Structure 1
Amino acid sequence: MDWRDRGLCLREDPDLFFPIGGMNSGQGVLQTDEARSVCRRCPVREQCLAWAVVAGPVEGIWGGTTEGERRAERRRAARRRTAAETAA
């Protein structure tokens, strides 16, 4: 069974994970918070987040994170790799 088949998001309206008006509108913030609350309880949150980070610019809430948060994590990971390669 694939991890996606066990996500709690399957029981929710898919639109919940794609905030209306972006993450900065009032409705978008409320929707993001609600989606994150589902993700916090999800048994496959870590797999979901790992997939979204590797997959690249994926819209919506994945693993309890926004696209901007995942983009920042990819940048941090790239800096860590560069630092490790420089130190080696």
Structure 2
Amino acid sequence: MTDRSQTFARVAALIEPFNKKGVALTDATTFAGDLEWDSLVVMDFVASVEDEFEILITMNMQAEIETVGQLVDAVDRLTEEGVAL
């Protein structure tokens, strides 16, 4: 089991190459609004998260995740549940 702050740090590191505006990341940072990501960036980013954590994020889950904090919680939940590739 991993600490949430460790998961946040790993997710933040994955966001970095896509964070063209240099937005400071918090749990409340939104992907569409704050980071201004389009669907192609989202798909590339989701693939990198899935690879990093060896999980599968469904399309339904993606539609519900709007903030960095929600993603961190989802990654932790999927990792704990063992929903691996």
Larger Rg: 1
TM-score range, shorter chain: 0.3 to 0.5
Q: Which has the higher contact order (CA 8 A, sep 6+)?
A: 2
TM-score (norm 2): 0.35
After TM superposition, the score normalised by the length of structure 1 is 0.34
Tell me which protein shows more helix as a share of its residues: 1
